[in-house]
Amino acid sequence: MRRRGAGTLLFTSSTAAFRGNAGQHAHSAAMGARRNLCQSLRAELAPEGVHVCHINIDGTVDAPESIGKILPEFLEEMRETDEGLLRPDDVADTYWHLHTQPRNAWSFELDLRPWREKAWFNS
């Protein structure tokens, strides 16, 4: 990417990158470190044409690897009632948008959450 003078690095994180919770010490430390790494990479690589963005997924993604393992009995009901699941295609569209942003309007940080999810900074 440096040689080409273009490219995108997108890092997915969670709310734990911004604040810790009881019993989540290691997870919070890892997510916070990921966010800090993104800040350093952005400062280093942006002048060379590489877009670095940190994305906070603040909600449940409707995917077998997440809700399908955690709450399989509620999955169909949540899908039918639009209970605020993040749809993988919509998340992918957002990531594509970040990748294709013009250099004069790059995002560094983005929160993705369903409409029903209360933002971590409002709780």
Query: Which CATH number do you get for residue 41?
Result: 3.40.50.720
In a domain? residue 17: yes
Token duo for residue 43: 């400062």
Integer-rounded Cα Rg, in Å, for the chain is 16
Average confidence (pLDDT) per 10 residues, the chain, 123 residues: 94 90 90 96 97 92 71 66 79 97 96 78 65
Please provide the DSSP assignment of 18-53 as one string. T---TT-HHHHHHHHHHHHHHHHHHHHHGGGTEEEE
pLDDT on residue 77 = 66
Total domains in the chain come to 1
What is the C-alpha to C-alpha distance for residues 5 and 62, in angstroms, rounded to an integer? 35
In a domain? residue 19: yes
In a domain? residue 123: no
In a domain? residue 96: yes
Cβ-based neighbour number of residue 107 at 10 Å: 13
In a domain? residue 121: no
In a domain? residue 1: no
Cβ-based neighbour number of residue 96 at 10 Å: 12
Give the domain extent around 101.
Answer: 7-116
In a domain? residue 122: no
What is the C-alpha to C-alpha distance for residues 57 and 44, in angstroms, rounded to an integer? 24
Instruction: Extract the runs of DSSP E, i.e. beta strands, from the chain.
Output: 7-13, 50-57, 109-112
pLDDT on residue 105 = 96
In a domain? residue 91: yes
pLDDT on residue 114 = 83
